[in-house]
Amino acid sequence: MKRINLTKFGFVRSKEDDFSDDGNHFTCYKIGKIRVSKLVSDGQAYISGSMDDNKLTYEVYSKLPHYKSLDNLNGVDTSSITEEDLQDLYTTCVEYEKEYEAAVKTIVYPTQEELDEQCLKIENLRKAELKEIESKIDASILNLREYDLTSLQKYYRNLKASTKGITPQLN
């Protein structure tokens, strides 16, 4: 294919998503919430789709059925791309968005009680660390150089401060 016109297949031009990488300018399009970037250089096409909302981890979204197909036209000879390939990319983007949204709906968030429990665990760990440090401080502190004493004070204050603000939001 001499000229790859994604808008002909339903992709909507999205200039605000355009970007440059390693001196190359990528032109972007949207289909629903999927961003498709395109670069044509030296007879090669780099066309790739992605979802940029960060609601799912890579471990989850990379296992969705249409994920790998979003890159089918990434790094291929432009002469080998057909209209059917571009139509398939459009369909892939639509299907991937459906799969992605369905996966987002399965996310189970922790309850307030579970969050409170974890906060208490962290707070108790920090208090135990602080107690251990305090038990090890003795007269040897008098032999420290001024710089070391200042550093020790700084570390102590930071550790002590980290024991505050973790307290759960008890109702």
Query: How much is the pLDDT for 144?
Result: 82
- For residues 9 and 97, give the distance between their C-alpha atoms in angstroms, rounded to a whole number: 17
Instruction: Give the H/E segment covering residue 97.
Output: helix 83-105
Q: Pick from 90, 105, 120: which residue ends a domain?
A: 105
Same-domain status, 19 and 91? yes
Asked whether residue 60 is assigned to any structural domain, the reply reads yes
In a domain, 171, yes or no: no
Chain-centroid distance of CA 170 in Å reads 31
In a domain, 1, yes or no: no
Task: Give the pLDDT score at 121.
Answer: 95
- Tens-place pLDDT, residues 61-111: 999 999 999 999 999 999 999 999 999 999 999 999 999 999 999 999 999
pTM, 2 dp:
0.69
Q: 142: pLDDT confidence band, cut at 50, 70 and 90?
A: low
Helix (H) or strand (E) holding 113: helix 112-136
84 lies in some domain: yes
Claim to verify: residue 120 and residue 80 sit in the same structural domain: no
pLDDT > 70 in the chain, percent = 95
47 contacts 26 by C-beta, under 8 angstroms: no
Kindly state whether residues 92 and 42 are assigned to the same domain. Answer: yes
pLDDT value at position 169? 63
- The Cα 8–Cα 84 span in angstroms is 12
Point out the domain boundary residue: 67, 83, 105. Answer: 105
Domain of residue 134 covers 112-161
- pLDDT tens track for 102-130: 999 999 999 999 999 999 999 999 999 98
Tell me how many domains the chain contains: 2
* Contact present, 36 and 28 (Cβ < 8 Å): yes
Residues 25 and 96 in one domain: yes
23 and 93 belong to one structural domain: yes
